[in-house]
A and B are shown apart, each in its own frame.
Chain A
Amino acid sequence: MARAPEPLSFAAQLERLEAIVRQLEGQDLDLDHALKLFEEGVERLREARDRLTAAEVKVKQVLTDQAGNLKVEDLDR
């Protein structure tokens, strides 16, 4: 079974958004294409803002068990 693709990282999302803006500011673009880019840009912008608002710092600790496997646990603070 194929695994769900990794969601786009914030960095990748921002990069895409910057590329869209640069393209839109460039010269040769028909209106149809420009509108599509604009819509995608607005969507990316919304997603990025939502991400920042919804996120909360997670703190975990990484340990190894006796067999040497990695264990990730919440850190008691």
Chain B
Amino acid sequence: MGQGLDLFAAVSAEGAWTVTELARRARAVVEAGLVPLWVRGEISGFKAWQSGHWYFALRDRSAQVRCVMFQKENRRLPTPPADGMQVFAFARPTVWEEKGEFRLTVLDLLSTAAGGLWQVAFERAKAALVKDGLLDPARKRPLPPYPRRIAVVTSPDGAALRDIIAVATRRWPLAELLVIPTRVQGDGAEAEICGALALLTRVARLDVAIIGRGGGSREDLWTFNHERVARAVAAVPVPVISAVGHETDVTLCDLVADFRAATPSAAAEAATPDVLEVQGALDHLGVRLARGLAARSGRVAERLDRSFDRLAGLMARRLERHRHELATLAGQLDALSPLRILERGYALARDADGRVLKRVAQFPPGLVFRLRVTDGTVAARAAEV
């Protein structure tokens, strides 16, 4: 049986076609006559099925055609189209035999809006985040000035990680970088990133987190525009620095993060202080410390000076008084001196050993003794009685 319009080739005994035969033939005719082509129209009656396939119609003022876009094709698109959206569809016309329906199997879909479906998806996710207050500037947390533990959520073999390690090593020796490796692009990358971000809640004593990747195409960077990635960033318990792609690429991840850095290197700079500046600050604190004490002890020294003057005065007065007392005491001592008594005409007798002789019995006849008078000593002998 050929593909031509041999209208009587497959008739039944009654001379009529079966429905199945007709549908099959119609499909063959349509597929042979209309190769895949671009169609322009408006989306209508859009429905995404549980299976992941999309069903909708494309229409203009006077006609419409049913369309299906299978999951294996639509997974590459950032978002489903909305009803009323003007699109270009690249599609293969066919006949769906079960329903006898003419329709398009859509292979690719572009929005005619500026930025296409990507921009539509971006704006849609952004609106959802705004609604939940996740882009509120008041949510932004300050970055810790002297962090120790810094989490880095990125690809383990990208240039971004190398740059971050290099900058942190140069600037801040106290840093401990904890790399949470994850794929950052491709199918399922957003789920991996969300998993990596969720791990952060389990890392103890984390100070700050960096999430990012180097530059890439819009499709490569798209992972960071997924609403669920943005929400996972917002849920991180410590401040997050986002650095996705280059300066000109702004992703939802950047918008939700506490700080947006233009590049991974810039993210590492934002995360860490410069050790030379910190050392300078320490020197300055040292100077203030010394000055503080000097000013303090200067005031104390003044007070001490005054105290010393008072003390010295007190001592001088005391000494003066003591001098009087001493003079009196010296006078009394003087008066008691035995020499003064000898002066008054008394004499002191001592034997050869120096013992003082006070009684008659101590003077046997002929005893030689010495007599001390006021100006010297004379030898004497006790007379015979």
- Asked if B275 and A52 make an inter-chain contact with CB atoms under 8 angstroms apart, the answer reads yes
Identify which of B145, B169, B179, B282 contacts A11 (C-beta below 8 A): B145
Q: Mark A1-44, 1 if CB is under 8 A from B, else 0.
A: 00000100111001001101100110001010011001001100
Nearest to A42 among chain B residues (CB) is B289
Residues of the A chain whose Cβ atoms lie less than 8 Å from the Cβ of B174 = 10, 51-52, 55
Q: Flag if A70 contacts B300 (CB, 8 Å).
A: no
Given contacts A10-B148, A11-B145, A34-B297, contact A60 B292 (CB under 8 A): no
**Contact status of A18 and B289, CB under 8 A, knowing A49-B279, A61-B156:** no
Do A11 and B144 contact each other (CB < 8 Å), given the known contacts A34-B293, A57-B168, A70-B199? yes
Instruction: Give Cα A46–Cα B205 distance, bound, in whole angstroms.
Output: 25
Which residues of B sit under 8 angstroms from A48, Cβ to Cβ? 282
Residues of chain A contacted by B120 (CB below 8 angstroms) = none
| Inter-subunit contact B181/A58 (CB<8 Å) | no
CB contacts under 8 Å to A, within B149-166, are 151, 156, 165
Pick from A17, A51, A52, A70: contact of B285, CB below 8 A.
A17
Residue pair B300, A31 in contact (C-beta under 8 Å):
yes
Contact B285 A21 (CB under 8 A): yes
Q: Across the interface, which residues of B come within 8 angstroms of A61, CB to CB?
A: 156, 178-181
Tell me the residues in window 291-339 of chain B with beta carbons closer than 8 Å to chain A beta carbons: 291-293, 295-297, 300
Q: A58 to B282: give the CA distance in the assembly, Å.
A: 23
Judge if B110 is at the interface, Cβ distance under 8 Å: no
Instruction: Report if B146 contacts A (CB, 8 A).
Output: yes
Task: Tell me the interface secondary structure of chain A in the complex.
Answer: helix
Write out the residue numbers on chain B whose beta carbons fall within 8 Å of the beta carbon of A63: 181
Q: Inside 8 A of A41's CB, which chain B residues have their CB? A: 285, 289
A51 to B279, CA, bound (A): 11
The reply on B286 being an interface residue by CB < 8 A is: yes
Q: Once the chains bind, are B285 and A34 in contact (CB under 8 Å)?
A: no
From known contacts A42-B289, A70-B203, infer whether A34 and B146 are also in contact, taking CB-CB under 8 Å.
Answer: no
Residues of A contacting B282 with CB < 8 Å? 14, 17, 45, 48-49, 52
Q: What band does the interface of chain A fall in when counting residues whose beta carbon is under 8 Å from B?
A: 35 or more
Report which of B169, B172, B177, B297 forms a contact with A31, defined as CB distance below 8 A: B297
- Across the interface, name the chain A residue whose C-beta is closest to B276: A52
Q: Does B278 contact A (CB under 8 A)?
A: yes
Q: Does A67 contact B (CB under 8 A)?
A: no
Q: Tell me if B199 and A62 are in contact (CB < 8 A).
A: yes
Does B202 lie at the interface of the complex (its beta carbon under 8 Å from any beta carbon of A)?
yes
* Residues in chain B near residue A17, CB distance under 8 A: 282, 285, 289
> Do A11 and B146 touch (CB < 8 A)?
yes
Task: Determine the chain A residues whose CB is within 8 A of the CB of B148 once the complex forms.
Answer: 9-10
Residue picked from A38, A51, A62, most chain B C-beta under 10 Å: A62
Q: Is B175 an interface residue (CB 8 A)?
A: yes
The answer to whether residues A72 and B199 also contact, given A41-B289, A45-B286 and a CB cut-off of 8 A, is no
Q: Among the listed B173, B179, B300, which residue makes an inter-chain contact with A75, where contact means beta carbons less than 8 Å apart?
A: B179
Contact B178 A72 (CB under 8 A): yes
Give the residue of B146, B179, B289, B295 whose beta carbon is less than 8 angstroms from that of A45. B289
Closest 9 CB pairs of A and B: A24-B292, A55-B173, A11-B146, A34-B296, A61-B179, A31-B300, A38-B293, A57-B169, A41-B289
B-side residues, CB < 8 A to A, are: 144-146, 148, 151, 156, 165, 168-169, 172-181, 199, 202-203, 205, 275, 278-279, 282, 285-286, 288-289, 291-293, 295-297, 300
What residues of chain A have their CB less than 8 Å away from a CB belonging to chain B? 6, 9-11, 14, 17-18, 20-21, 24-25, 29, 31, 34-35, 38, 41-42, 45, 48-49, 51-52, 55-64, 70, 72, 75, 77
